[in-house]
Structure 1
Amino acid sequence: MRNFALAVTVAAALAGSLTGAAHAQSVRISVGSYNLNNLPFPVAEGLGLYKEQGLDVTTENFASGGSKVLQALVAGSTDIAVGFYDHTIQMQSQRKDVVGIVQLARNSGLVLAGGPNSTFDPAKPETIKGAKIGITAPGSSSDFFVRYYLDRHGLSQDSVSLIGVGSGAAAVAALEQGKIDLLVNYDPAATFIEAKGVGKILIDARDDAGAKEVYGGIYPTSVLYATASYIKENPETIQKVVDATVKALEWMRDHSAEEIVAQLPEAFISGDRETYIKAVENARPIFSADGRFSETDVKTPLEVLRSFNDKVAATKIDLSKTYTNSFVDKAPRTASN
């Protein structure tokens, strides 16, 4: 009788798990690159938080910058994008409604590094003329960084050559091999450059002071965003994705860089593990504590884009339509919050 009861219990549990799997909500999430601004997303995956919400997530890594992910989202080949907030502003200028649903990185995290033969001196902005500058991809925020720098200093957009080199180890290699003179990129590339002696950081926007110096304010970057129509049609799925992501942000806040790296798939880790752990520690200040968008901070990307993007400059942008805190505000919180 005891064995029969045990068999019934096991069968019931198995049936329950199969029923849960059958009812798992499928969602396609694409990520533009494995730079550290996007780190909370793979952490959430590694911790099994999306699965915990009953989601069956299909992930695609474009590894060539957020602009490709944005194209996929608008084309309908992905449901949610892990990309940069400024893309939502760009899309509104093109009369397309793309909305940020949770913020991952509250600050830029970008650096401009020079190779051993670079003659650029930030104290003399005109010395950037003629430089071959590596960016993650055309239309990316690293692209915007350079264009805004040129505009602020009255320099022509044609005074430099912009070359897409991706992120991480590939970007560092481009600088090391002399294919580019300067590199605008994120961690882990920023930490690798210094650790390997490949070059030196000339402009650092990883902390708040650096961001304010470069942009005039805090520059929110990595977010999860989706089209307004997808959000309207799938509010339950969006809430589950946000709940899992907020939980990942809280978990990252309370755990060491080494513990965070332990949750990542090997494909996400660039270079040697110890240097990568150091890169995660260096990047800590950029991550959002709660996933919320700041009404003040979102104005900074708009001002940056207006300086060189004619379509954005000519459009009356309603920032309230580029993000929502409604899902984040409903997300369960840990006791420490």
Structure 2
Amino acid sequence: MKHSVLRLMMGALALSTVSHSAFAANDKITLMVGGMEKQIYLPAMLAQRLGYFKEQGLDVELLNEPAGVDAENELIAGSVQGVVGFYDHTIDIQAKGKYLESVVQFSHTPGEVELVATKMADKIKSPADFKGKTLGVTGLGSSTNFLTQYLGVSHGVKLSEMTSLPVGAGNTFIAAMQQGKIDAGMTTEPTISRLVDTGQAKVLIDLRSPENTQKVLGGLYPAASLYMQTQWVQEHKDLTQKLANAFVKTLQYIHTHSAEEITQKMPADYYAGDRAAYVKALAEGKKSFIPDGRMPESGPATVLKVLSAFDQTVKGHSIDLSKTYTTEFVSAAKTQ
């Protein structure tokens, strides 16, 4: 009897030890998202809600940072391990002597729209009319700022002739337009639908579809991605692979499920009070996502061309595009 009790106690202790070890083995990763509620960055929250991070033994914390440039700074400082943001930051930062790389490429279009306030629609009919105007962006040095500046410069407007005003996204962007602080601005869904459907703004430049993106920017423009410091990736290949597994599986889910099914998985407050509009926008925006997370071959060159048109940091510098992204992990991704 004593031996039986002893065996039971030892068995319980062993189970407790295994359970503790399994919990301790969960790898903690912190990712900063450049605007959690934006549909272009939907794969981050969707992966978490589907439980794909946990399947990989990862304990992932998602932090919200509305401006991509601030998320980039947090990554460089080592405060987070990765950023869900625009690929173009990897090129901009390489010109400053630092190396980031896209590990999983979520989309091949910006998913952004340049909106003009309805009351200014007769005065701003193209980016050539940006001269003397105040244009809303999420943050100075952000991807919305990059694209806005390119649109102006490519239509003959000098950087000194237009003003970029950081107004964030969502409610703060909407308020800035309502209050007349900005004449036009670049934003994403669901903010686009909220302003257009209520008649407060009109679409000036649409960068949501591959067709429009190629027409306006001269090629596909890989945008939303998971990017990380190159050195960290090299030192933590196992963790990076697990993240890639989770995100590629999420992209496949997006590709094989309807906008309605995807919306059901998202937090209700992301709908901004209009679920139907969210579903409609997502149904249209789904085509921006890349099912296998692989960088489109022609994409990096298009992004470099765009940045070189106005960004003095990039212009004239030799950029090694092969060091701005990797397909190593998406190629080896295990999604079953």
Following TM superposition, by how much is the alpha carbon of 1:122 offset from its aligned partner in structure 2, in angstroms? 6.4
Give the match's secondary structure for 1:252: helix
Following TM superposition, by how much is the alpha carbon of 1:48 offset from its aligned partner in structure 2, in angstroms? 1.0
Following TM superposition, by how much is the alpha carbon of 1:176 offset from its aligned partner in structure 2, in angstroms? 2.7
Give the match's secondary structure for 2:118: coil
Which of 293, 296, 320 is the matching residue for 2:295?
A: 293
Following TM superposition, by how much is the alpha carbon of 1:279 offset from its aligned partner in structure 2, in angstroms? 2.1
| 2:61 corresponds to 1:58 | yes
- Does the aligned pair in 1 maintain the 2:85–2:224 contact within 8 Å? yes
Q: How far apart, in 1, do the equivalents of 2:40 and 2:307 lie?
A: 20
Q: How far apart, in 1, do the equivalents of 2:16 and 2:255 lie?
A: 35
Which of 123, 128, 131 is the matching residue for 2:130?
A: 128
- Does the aligned pair in 1 maintain the 2:121–2:202 contact within 8 Å? no
| 2:32 corresponds to 1:30 | yes
Following TM superposition, by how much is the alpha carbon of 1:11 offset from its aligned partner in structure 2, in angstroms? 9.0
Q: Percent identity among equivalent residues?
A: 35
- Does the aligned pair in 2 maintain the 1:86–1:141 contact within 8 Å? yes
| Pair 281,9 (structure 1): closer, same or farther in 2 beyond 3 Å | farther
- Does the aligned pair in 2 maintain the 1:97–1:227 contact within 8 Å? yes
| Pair 266,123 (structure 1): closer, same or farther in 2 beyond 3 Å | closer
Q: How far apart, in 2, do the equivalents of 1:280 and 1:10 lie?
A: 49
Give the match's secondary structure for 1:311: coil
Scaled by the length of structure 2, what TM-score is found? 0.91
| 2:282 corresponds to 1:277 | no
Q: How far apart, in 2, do the equivalents of 1:84 and 1:313 lie?
A: 19
Q: Which amino acid in 2 is paired with 1:310?
A: Q
Q: How far apart, in 2, do the equivalents of 1:124 and 1:31 lie?
A: 31
Following TM superposition, by how much is the alpha carbon of 1:272 offset from its aligned partner in structure 2, in angstroms? 2.2
Q: How far apart, in 2, do the equivalents of 1:62 and 1:26 lie?
A: 19
Structure 1 alignment gaps of length 5 or more: none
Q: How far apart, in 1, do the equivalents of 2:178 and 2:279 lie?
A: 21
Comparing 109-118 and 259-268, the one that deviates more? 259-268
| Pair 14,122 (structure 1): closer, same or farther in 2 beyond 3 Å | farther
For residues 200-239 of structure 1, the aligned pairs below 5 Å read 200-239=202-241
Give the match's secondary structure for 1:253: helix
Give the match's secondary structure for 1:200: strand
CA RMSD of aligned residues (A): 2.3
Following TM superposition, by how much is the alpha carbon of 1:121 offset from its aligned partner in structure 2, in angstroms? 5.9
Name 2:74's counterpart in structure 1.
72
Per-residue CA distance 1:159-207 (angstroms, 9 max, x = gap): 2221111112332232233221112111111122222221111111111
Comparing 308-317 and 87-96, the one that deviates more? 308-317
Name 1:251's counterpart in structure 2.
253
For residues 178-189 of structure 1, the aligned pairs below 5 Å read 178-189=180-191
Give the match's secondary structure for 2:299: coil
Q: Which amino acid in 2 is paired with 1:97?
A: Y
